[in-house]
Structure 1
Amino acid sequence: MLAELDPLIHSQLRLAIMSILLSVDEADFVYLKEKTESTAGNLSVQLDKLSKAGYIQVEKEFVGKKTRTSCRITETGRKAMEEYIKALKTYLDL
């Protein structure tokens, strides 16, 4: 039987965000926007969804007069990605 894929992670942009955050301590909004080639609006919406699920932690701070948004994966997010990858492997091993 095929494992169910986490619908929150299965979105292309959210999967890209989670994959990036798995490999770095933290990433700021500009970096994620460049790496995912997404619009600022779409990225904001997807970060909000991941944050509400507890998969990532989003921090906003002021650097001079500009805001800096940084993101990091949480332990919950790390476990969700491990489960997602494990489920995906069930599809690849058919």
Structure 2
Amino acid sequence: MSAPPPELDPVIHAQARLRVVATLATLAEGDQITFPRLQDILQMTAGNLSVHLRKLEDAGYVDITKTHQGRTPATLVALGRRGRLAFEEYTAAVRALLDLSDAKEQR
């Protein structure tokens, strides 16, 4: 009997959140991106991005910092250690699923 296929993290698996986490994972550990820049890269509305960031923040995957740049409020977003680890585990699970699929096709 073979092992069951790996589980995919439901917090990351939603398409929009996967795009957010994958984008943030390209930043060096400890680096941050401004909310408007992330919104521009992902081409998401502010409301949609906010909802997904809240879900990721609630899971402990992203760090949100509210600050000011001069007199202008700024929101900075970073992938936290837990989020980085969750994304690594997620990508490993996807690779394992693809490997299972490849193995079945070769039979």
Which residue of 2 is the match for residue 68 of structure 1? Answer: 74
Specify the SS of the correspondent of 2:90: helix
Give the superposition deviation at 1:40. Answer: 0.3
Work out the CA distance in 1 between the residues paired with 2:98 and 2:41.
26
Query: Which residue of 80, 84, 95 corresponds with 1:78?
Result: 84
Which residue of 2 is the match for residue 8 of structure 1? Answer: 11
| TM-score, normalised by the number of residues in structure 2 | 0.83
What is the CA deviation profile of residues 55-91 of structure 1, one whole-angstrom value per residue up to 9, with x for unaligned ones? Answer: 0100011223321101111110011001100110122
> RMSD over aligned Cα, in angstroms?
1.0
| TM-score, normalised by the number of residues in structure 1 | 0.93
Work out the CA distance in 2 between the residues paired with 1:42 and 1:26.
20
Which residue of 2 is the match for residue 21 of structure 1? Answer: 24
Work out the CA distance in 2 between the residues paired with 1:71 and 1:7.
21
* Unaligned residue ranges in structure 1 (runs of 5+): none
Percent identity over paired residues:
40
